[in-house]
Chain A
Amino acid sequence: MPRRLLVAAVAVAAAAIGVAAGLHFHQRVEEPLAIGGYVLERARTLPAIELVDESAAPFRTGDFAGHWSLLYFGFTYCPDVCPLTLVELARAKELLTAEQRGERVEYYFVSVDPQRDTPARLREYVAYFDPAFRGLTGSAGALAELARATETVFEVPEDNDSDNYLVSHSSNVVVLDPSGAVYAVLTPPHGAARLAADLTKILEHRASRR
């Protein structure tokens, strides 16, 4: 082969490899998952935080490991968006049991109002929506740390001598993967069908990443 032609062939081959590599690289750039919310670029491991569950037993963030977890932050004095979301989560749970393919999902209502929401109060509250729902709360410091780690915002008024103060909180549903790390955040409005569809996509997404 004439030398010049050989150079040209090598150049073409190199270009082809480059294009192939480029395409390969391009394919690795993930399209954002089409869900009502977002998947974290890298799942975020939670710091060790001690909470208390609906039976007044200690609950550590490590206890989120071993199954998928959906966390919704609120307070039981919340008349509107908390019951609304918990009803939709309970319906989504029914829709999902058929599609989970062996993946376990636990549902947690995290009260950011420990002053009024005792474990006993939480237990009767979450059970009203679904007998399998769990309730969590903790010290103000523990709740603030959990909120920070889960992209959640809440605010309890400082002047709450009366029993009728209002607590503000974001209405996201936080999705933890079976390693207990924050995997995705679902944003309102939360309809059951959409919650179930989004969670199914998230489960598939993680399976395809691994």
Chain B
Amino acid sequence: MTRLARALLLSASFAAGSAAADPLTIADAWLRATPPGARTAAAYLTIANDGPEDRLLGGSTPAARTVEVHTYVADGGLERMVHLPELEVPAGTEVRFTPGGPHLMLVDLAGPLVSGTSVAMTLRFARAGELVLDVPVIDARATPSPAVHGH
């Protein structure tokens, strides 16, 4: 098993605040380790919703000033990266954040994200409230990215 696969299995365990009947499950969470001097970073994960429709309103982490939901919107020859104020998580679906696709953008990093460490991150949902994750930092140079999606 690759280091990445192990990290993914260990990832996204709810650290606190998750009720047993919580309809949202978060899996495969990882953060891209940052190049020197980086001010931003991207987090990727999958949200599975077994319950009623919910909305992701954003997030927070001690590692950055803010966490925003970003996606790409085709606009002519341009793929415009846009900040979504909220993202629908429809009932009975999975929402995937993947490299080259929708991602969580950490803005104004407090410091570099170092491979092998992990970062606490809180995701805020309209219905489910706050979910706290422990997200591993992975050096994508050393391990193939789990998925490469075109946009």
Contact = CB atoms under 8 A, between A and B. Distances in A.
A80 B83 CA distance: 13
B104 to A, nearest CB: 9
B140 A169 contact: no
Interface string A125-156: 10011000000000000000000000101110
Interface string B79-90: 111110000000
B78 A81 contact: no
B21 interface: no
Interface string B126-151: 00000000000000110001001111
Interface string B26-46: 000000100111111110000
Interface in A68-84: 76-81, 83-84
Contacts of A188: 100, 150-151
Interface of B: 32, 35-42, 70, 72, 75-83, 99-100, 103, 105-108, 140-141, 145, 148-151
A170 interface: yes
Report the contact-size class of chain A (Cβ under 8 Å from the partner).
20 to 34
| Closest 7 pairs (CB-CB, A-B) | A189-B150, A128-B35, A79-B42, A79-B40, A153-B77, A80-B42, A168-B80
Interface string A186-205: 00111100000000000000
A129 B38 CA distance: 13
B101 to A, nearest CB: 8
Contact of B36 (A83, A84, A124): A124
Interface of A: 76-81, 83-84, 87-88, 90, 121, 124-125, 128-129, 151, 153-155, 163-164, 166, 168-171, 188-191
A78 B76 CA distance: 20
Contacts of B148: 84, 88, 189-191
B78 A87 contact: no
